[in-house]
Amino acid sequence: MQFEPVIGLEVHAQLSTEAKMFCSCPNQYGAEPNQNTCPVCLGLPGALPTINQKAVQFAIQLGLATNCKIRLDSQFARKNYFYPDLPKAYQISQFDRPICEGGWIEIETKAGTKRIGITRIHMEEDAGKLVHEGQDPNASYVDLNRAGVPLVEIVSEPDIRNSEEAKAYMEKIHSYVTYLGVCNGDMEKGNLRCDANVSIRPRGQAQFGTRTETKNINSFRNVAAAIEFEIARQTDAVLDGETIIQETRLWDGALNQSRSLRVKEDSHDYRYFPCPDLPVVKIEQEEVDRTHASLPELPDQKRDRFVLEHGLSHYDASVLVASQEVAFYFEQCLKAGASPKPATNWILGDMLRLLNETKTEATQCKVGPKSLAQMIALIEDGTISGKIAKTVYQEMFETGKYPAQVVEEKGLKQVSDEVALLVICQKIVADSPEQTAAYQGGKDRLFGYFVGQAMQATKGKANPGVINKIFKELLGEPSQG
């Protein structure tokens, strides 16, 4: 491709505080419309906001975890615009004095690890919601439960170069906010959402092109899809001789496309000014240091520890730590006696696949870490074969039964009894004179045929090692040449 995309993401994360940002209304999803409101978040005249300390602490934690500098005197500002879901006609946000600045996180790409700069993280309040599916089909309804819910906006540098990197960045942000417990990360409910700024430029050109901003992206898949759509649209436009205009676009996940919403505002359109109702957010450096020292183990640190302590590959470890629950599950498995490699393989293979297919969280998995460790032990001591174990696992996943019980009930014990297997193998050789002659004449690939027959005869339960040994003896070495 002759053009290079340039991408910067603005990620909004709803903070999981109990109360809203500037009042004591509950920060709670799914309540009756307008139940969680008060004069402050309804924007009634004369009502005064107060700052939620917990939200400030969460913002500091996230800033430190993402290598930002923490501003000790950050300030809230009014961002003025009119919209029916914004009763004050301004949003309290931060402008030129955000709480965090100048950080970075690392993402994994095909070419290796890449650092993505974080320009700033600022605090703000969410807006309400317009509801268009009410009693009267011609009316729009206003629900202000979400008005005043605390948000952080994480603004990246334009360091991202393709949709895959953007998705990896979003996934990394997701794992950081959930590890820290500052946001629950539920993208379907809009708790974590992103706007994608995309431009293209001729390869080799230093100057950036004009960007568009696509809003309303609410899944990892849509981050990639929206960006790919926009790169293709801009490329077509430029090749057709058109000029890209700076605009805001709205992503429609159902149609897999975006449409122009409005010509993009610049910051001066918002007439920002310091919010006169709120004091400067004074923070002690001591508090910042204390917070830094008490951060939990973060995904990248956990990944490096898994590589070092358990000998996992960098890739396997990255996938395991992407979710804190999955990483915890893995460590519980090891505590229950499983070795790291088989535990990793089962978790990254059958477990994540089935969780995905059934849309289940790791914490809800019916196969507990102990059960998985027990099943791995059954494979290792030869009670079941690795192949039969897949059937056993599936049954455990569906029913929550213990592995030994499944093996017993379904009669899945591996047959390792040499005498019993010898009888079966002898019959196969006797029934297959042509294959036997061909094998002994040099067609050594036919060995698999005999093993397959024995597996079929025992419904997959024969111990493959024993079967191999018996056939080698019965058939002898194939002649050379």
Q: Where does this chain bind Mg ion (CB under 5 A)?
A: 10
Nearer to ligand ADP, 231 or 317 (CB): 231
Is there binding between residue 199 and ligand ADP (CB under 6 A)? yes
How far is residue 189's CA from residue 99's CA, in Å, rounded to a whole number? 26
In terms of C-beta density within 10 A (0-12 exposed, 13-18 middle, 19 or more buried), how is residue 157 classed?
middle
The least distance separating ligand ADP from the CB of residue 124, rounded to whole angstroms, comes to: 11
For 334-350, b where at least 16 C-beta lie within 10 A, e where not — what string? bebebebebbbebbbeb
Nearer to Zn ion, 43 or 274 (CB): 43
The least distance separating ligand ADP from the CB of residue 72, rounded to whole angstroms, comes to: 22
Distance of CA 69 to the CA centre of its chain: 26
Contact 230, 223 (CB under 8 A): no
| Sign for the pseudo-dihedral over CA of 246, 247, 251, 255 | negative
Beta bridge partners of 114: 107
Contact 150, 17 (CB under 8 A): yes
Nearer to ligand ADP, 197 or 324 (CB): 197
Contact 463, 414 (CB under 8 A): yes
Residue nearest to ligand ADP (CB): 8
- Count of residues engaged in binding ligand ADP, rule: CB under 6 A: 16
How many angstroms separate the most distant Cα atoms in the chain? 98
Q: Which of 11, 15, 41, 362 binds Zn ion (CB under 5 A)?
A: 41
The least distance separating ligand ADP from the CB of residue 6, rounded to whole angstroms, comes to: 4
The least distance separating Zn ion from the CB of residue 40, rounded to whole angstroms, comes to: 5
How far is residue 320's CA from residue 302's CA, in Å, rounded to a whole number? 9
The one of Mg ion, Zn ion, ligand ADP, none whose footprint includes residue 160, by CB under 5 to 8 A per kind, is none
How far is residue 20's CA from residue 373's CA, in Å, rounded to a whole number? 43
Hey, what are 146's tokens? 């979400």
Is there binding between residue 208 and ligand ADP (CB under 6 A)? yes
Contact 85, 91 (CB under 8 A): no
Residue located via tokens 């906010």: 177
Is there binding between residue 23 and Zn ion (CB under 5 A)? yes
Q: Which of 63, 103, 148, 158 binds ligand ADP (CB under 6 A)?
A: 158
The one of Mg ion, ligand ADP, Zn ion, none whose footprint includes residue 17, by CB under 5 to 8 A per kind, is none
The least distance separating Zn ion from the CB of residue 28, rounded to whole angstroms, comes to: 12
Q: Would you list the DSSP string of 197-237?
A: EEEEEETT--S----EEEEEE-SHHHHHHHHHHHHHHHHHH
How far is residue 350's CA from residue 30's CA, in Å, rounded to a whole number? 33
The least distance separating Zn ion from the CB of residue 23, rounded to whole angstroms, comes to: 3
Q: What radius of gyration do the chain's Cα atoms show?
A: 30
Is there binding between residue 148 and ligand ADP (CB under 6 A)? no
Nearer to ligand ADP, 56 or 121 (CB): 121
- Count of residues engaged in binding Zn ion, rule: CB under 5 A: 5
Residues 58-77 that bind ligand ADP (CB under 6 A): none
The one of ligand ADP, Mg ion, Zn ion, none whose footprint includes residue 155, by CB under 5 to 8 A per kind, is ligand ADP
**Which among 179, 146, 124, 185 is positioned nearest to 35, based on CA atoms?**
146
The 3-state DSSP class for residue 457 equals: helix
- Contact segment (CB under 5 A) with Zn ion among 15-23, 150-158, 204-212, 247-255 equals 15-23
Read off φ and ψ for residue 14, nearest 5 degrees.
Answer: -75, 130
- Contact segment (CB under 5 A) with Zn ion among 34-42, 127-135, 260-268, 458-466 equals 34-42
- Contact segment (CB under 6 A) with ligand ADP among 6-14, 138-146, 301-309, 433-441 equals 6-14
Is there binding between residue 103 and ligand ADP (CB under 6 A)? no
Is there binding between residue 247 and ligand ADP (CB under 6 A)? no
Nearer to ligand ADP, 157 or 186 (CB): 157
The one of Mg ion, Zn ion, ligand ADP, none whose footprint includes residue 23, by CB under 5 to 8 A per kind, is Zn ion
Is there binding between residue 155 and ligand ADP (CB under 6 A)? yes
Contact 405, 412 (CB under 8 A): no
How far is residue 293's CA from residue 348's CA, in Å, rounded to a whole number? 32
Nearer to Mg ion, 10 or 444 (CB): 10
- Contact residues toward ligand ADP (CB under 6 A) are 6-10, 155-158, 197-199, 208-209, 211, 213
- Contact residues toward Zn ion (CB under 5 A) are 23, 25, 38, 40-41
